[in-house]
Amino acid sequence: MSVDELKVLIQETVKVALTELFSDPDEGLELRDDLENALQLSLGNVNAREETLAVESASAKLGLIW
């Protein structure tokens, strides 16, 4: 194998690895209506600069360790 062939092999391997790492496993799936509505409401609250909870506060209220 030549140096150029090795470079191409490494580049292709890195491209595949990065594509797998950053791909969305949920791509193509549909959201349930209730979840989509909840997300839209949440985004609306953020855009309107309404009060939001820090992840630490929300997880503590739910008894989760963050």
Cα 44 from Cα 66, distance rounded (Å): 25
What is the pTM (predicted TM-score) of this model? 0.43
User: Domain boundaries in the chain?
Assistant: 3-61
What integer pLDDT is reported at residue 60 of this predicted model? 92
Please answer whether residues 10 and 1 qualify as being in contact, where contact means their C-beta atoms are separated by less than 8 angstroms.
no
Cα 33 from Cα 27, distance rounded (Å): 17
Q: Where are the alpha helices (DSSP H) in 1-66?
A: 3-22, 33-47, 55-61
Half-sphere exposure of 14 (CA within 13 A, CB side): 6
Residue (of 40, 28, 11) closest to 3 by Cα position = 11
More confidently predicted of 66 and 19: 19
Q: What is the pLDDT of residues 29-62, one digit of tens each?
A: 999 999 999 999 989 988 999 888 889 998 999 9
